[in-house]
Structure 1
């Protein structure tokens, strides 16, 4: 079972969230994968996926703010 190792980027409170709750976030997992907390927009974008992209029934398309990803950039490993 995977465990959260660390947050990637700054916490929501450092990105201007007044409460730090219910905000996009990115975490590195113990197995090397990444977990993303974002807004589920699968219904909106599913039909927009390019022909060479697909998702399984158990996968969702989520969106995070540009700011969240920019704040995480320096923490994302190169390999």
Structure 2
């Protein structure tokens, strides 16, 4: 794996979270659960499991 691939989850100044991951809207759009909806300005992003678990431990709980 190269250093150019840096998935991450981070908190923005407004309190929202941003995710950097691998864009996978095309291949995964048809595999969403029936109750999941993808808006016109939304994309499916794949984040490694370990990255998300680590981010969850670092997120504030308030």
The TM-score with structure 1 as length reference comes to 0.66
Mapped pair 1:47 → 2:42: no
The correspondence of residues 1-79 of structure 1 with structure 2, limited to 5 A, is: 19=3, 21-79=4-62
Please give the secondary structure, in 2, of the residue aligned with 1:35: strand
Aligned pairs, number? 62
The TM-score with structure 2 as length reference comes to 0.81
Please give the secondary structure, in 2, of the residue aligned with 1:30: coil
**Structure 1 segments of 4 or more deviating over 4 A?**
none
Indicate the RMSD between aligned Cα atoms, in angstroms.
Answer: 1.7
Structure 2: unaligned runs, 5 residues or longer: none
